[in-house]
């Protein structure tokens, strides 16, 4: 057991935590959309207009604030007109990025916007800059948002939707440095400037335009891109960073079968997110002194080798308490950077990479990662406050701080989230809370061996349970088992 001191200044407000930091991502990849989110109206699996009701309910429970779609790499080969109108007449295509399977386009614009309406979340559209045209993109925006007598608005009406939808977030190109067109930053910046000029605000709708930012530590991309952007045509740039235990894309490591060293290398690699954000923000600040342009981490999470026996192009992987620790650490990092990080989107929502939800036929399980998003809901729209924990390192080769934490205040309620990243050491934390005298503490815990996971036979092996803390005049004391995430809600 390690005894550690922590301190929170409940009145020292740092920045506003956008709920969109708790956002998600759904791509036409493997079983994310088809069979994961969308089963079609003829399915025996309970659904609402083809959308699985169990998945819908799970998304609602965590108050999913925003959902990115249709990719990923898929976005830059997606032609939206193929996904509207009578389903039987929709043009099919080959999903060249993900398994070369036939995409029948039965899930398209109407289905996505209906999904977002049902969840109650904001849609985030990734538009095709790589293989699409400016006109195609402009017409998509008109189709979605125009209320007037226009060709695209009338086409939407013909397809059954009278009123336009609201659309705020528009990402122009995905990974334009890679699958989105292998562009150089100068070239992409010019293309971005051209495309964004034709993203129009129809009928009172206001777009929030997002440029394709860097891959991991590519600071040169950020520098050259930012040199060509301004606050008038760009609200944010994106960042993609995936956690790979081995640092080797050809043998990334297994989701379930890993040793202590690989556990720590995973957490070590995930904590690099903090440095990445700091450094990219420093580069951004050189061009944008007033910090008008935000950073959106619109793809993050663990990427392992696919589950043995599954389609290599479908990126299906299991999800353990190790992933829960990864999620907790990243969300704490985003909270700490909420002055610049305005949105983040976990990759991906269902059946792909570090998924919230896994499905098999009519069965569904919530992963440990899902439960972390559930635990962290108190931070949505909160004000980040100062928190500090004394450092205590764990791990042999890859040394990491034992504790990851963040704290926020909303409506006089203090939300504190703490992860104990140690694989086998319990932590006893005494936390002094200044600026607030808590009368009660509701404490919840997610814990388990680092390999613990939920599957279709044991869907509740890892789940949130009540926990306790001792309140005192100065703050609280809480014991946190190894490999755990704890939420304290102090009133
Ligand atoms: O999330 C899987 C893929 O990872 C996305 O399609 C792409 O943007 C990234 O390389």
> What is the CB neighbour count within 10 angstroms for residue 208?
19
Q: With a 6 A CB cut-off, is 174 part of the ligand 1 pocket?
A: yes
Model confidence pLDDT, tens digit, residues 342-354: 999 999 999 999 9
Residue whose CA is closest, atom 8 of ligand 1? 72
Is residue 175 annotated as part of the catalytic site, yes or no? yes
Q: pLDDT-derived band of residue 232, with 50, 70 and 90 as boundaries? A: confident
Task: Tell me the mean pLDDT in the region 373-382.
Answer: 98
pLDDT at 480 over 90: yes
Environment class of residue 67 by beta-carbon count within 10 Å: exposed (0-12), middle (13-18) or buried (19+)? buried
Please indicate whether residue 323, judged by its CB atom, sits closer than 6 Å to ligand 1: no
Mean pLDDT calculated for residue range 117-135: 98
pLDDT of residue 315: 98
With a 6 Å cutoff on the Cβ, whether 76 touches ligand 1 is no
Q: Whose CA is closest to 422, among 138, 12, 1?
A: 1
Residue 278 annotated among the catalytic residues of the structure: no
Tell me if residue 15 falls in helix, strand or coil: strand
Q: Which of 67, 68, 70, 71 to mutate to test the pocket of ligand 1 (most atoms within 8 A of CB)?
A: 71
Of the pLDDT bands very low, low, confident and very high (cuts 50, 70, 90), residue 169 is very high
Q: What is the mean pLDDT of residues 100-119?
A: 98
d(CA 453, CA 238): 31
- Residue 73 Cβ contacting ligand 1 at under 6 Å: yes
Whether pTM > 0.85 for this model: the answer is yes
Structure tokens at 81: 């007109």
Catalytic residue among 175, 362, 391, 460: 175
Residue 461 is classified by DSSP as S
**Ligand 1 atom with least separation from CA of 175:** 8
Task: For residue 320, give the DSSP letter.
Answer: B
Whether residue 105 contacts residue 91, with contact meaning beta carbons closer than 8 Å, is answered with yes
Which atom of ligand 1 is nearest the CA belonging to 315? 2
Please state, in angstroms and rounded to a whole number, the distance separating the CA atoms of residues 47 and 407.
38
Is there an atom of ligand 1 within 6 Å of 305 CB?
no
Give the tens place of pLDDT for each residue, 303-312.
Answer: 999 999 999 9
- pLDDT of 269-303, one tens digit each? 999 999 999 999 999 999 999 999 999 999 999 99
Residue 198 confidence (pLDDT) above 90: yes
Mutate to test the pocket of ligand 1, among 73, 128, 313 (most ligand atoms within 8 A of CB): 73
Peptide bond into 72 cis (omega under 30): yes
Q: What is the mean pLDDT of the chain?
A: 98
Distance, CA 281 to ligand 1 centroid (Å)? 22
């Amino acid at each position: 057991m390690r005894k550690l001191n922590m301190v929170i200044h409940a009145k020292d407000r740092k920045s506003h935590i956008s709920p969109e930091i708790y956002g998600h991502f759904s791509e036409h990849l493997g079983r994310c959309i088809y069979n994961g989110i969308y089963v079609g109206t003829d399915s025996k699996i309970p659904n609402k207009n083809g959308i699985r009701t169990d998945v819908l309910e799970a998304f609602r429970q965590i108050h999913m604030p925003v959902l990115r779609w249709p990719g990923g790499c898929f976005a830059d080969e997606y032609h939206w007109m193929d996904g509207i109108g009578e389903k039987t007449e929709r043009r099919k295509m080959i999903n060249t990025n993900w398994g070369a399977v036939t995409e029948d386009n039965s899930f398209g614009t109407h289905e996505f916007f209906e999904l977002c309406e049902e969840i109650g979340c904001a849609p985030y559209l990734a538009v095709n800059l790589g293989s699409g045209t400016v006109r195609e993109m402009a017409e998509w925006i008109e189709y979605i948002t125009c209320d007037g007598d226009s060709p695209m608005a009338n086409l939407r009406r013909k397809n059954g939707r009278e009123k336009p939808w609201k659309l705020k977030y528009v990402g122009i190109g995905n990974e334009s440095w890679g699958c989105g067109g292998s562009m150089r930053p100068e070239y992409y910046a010019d293309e971005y400037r051209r495309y964004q000029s034709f993203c129009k605000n129809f009928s009172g709708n206001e777009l929030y335009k997002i440029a394709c930012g860097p891959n991991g530590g590519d600071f040169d991309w950020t520098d050259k891109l930012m040199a060509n952007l301004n606050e008038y045509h760009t609200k944010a740039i994106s960042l993609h960073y995936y956690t790979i235990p081995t640092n080797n894309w050809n043998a990334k490591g297994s989701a379930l079968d890993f040793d202590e060293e690989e556990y720590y290398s995973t957490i070590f690699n995930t904590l690099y997110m903090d440095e990445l954000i700091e450094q990219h923000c420093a580069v951004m600040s050189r061009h944008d002194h007033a910090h008008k342009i935000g950073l959106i981490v619109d793809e993050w999470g663990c990427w392992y080798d696919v589950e043995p026996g599954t389609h290599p192009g479908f990126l299906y992987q299991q999800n353990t308490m190790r992933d829960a620790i990864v999620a907790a650490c990243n969300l704490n990092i985003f909270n700490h950077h909420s002055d610049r990080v305005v949105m983040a989107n976990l990759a991906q929502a269902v059946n792909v990479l570090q998924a919230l939800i896994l499905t098999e036929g009519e069965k569904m399980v919530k992963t440990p990662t899902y439960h972390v998003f559930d635990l962290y809901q108190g931070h949505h729209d909160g004000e980040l406050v100062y928190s500090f924990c004394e450092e205590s390192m764990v791990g042999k080769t890859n040394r990491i701080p034992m504790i990851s934490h963040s704290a926020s205040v909303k409506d006089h309620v203090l939300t504190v989230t703490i992860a104990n990243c140690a694989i086998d050491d319990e932590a006893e934390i005494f936390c002094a809370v200044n600026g607030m005298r808590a009368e009660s503490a509701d404490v919840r815990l997610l814990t388990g061996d680092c390999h613990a996971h939920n599957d279709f036979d044991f869907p509740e092996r890892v789940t949130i349970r009540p926990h306790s803390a001792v309140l005192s005049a100065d703050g609280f004391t809480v014991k946190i088992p190894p490999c755990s995430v704890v939420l304290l809600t102090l009133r």
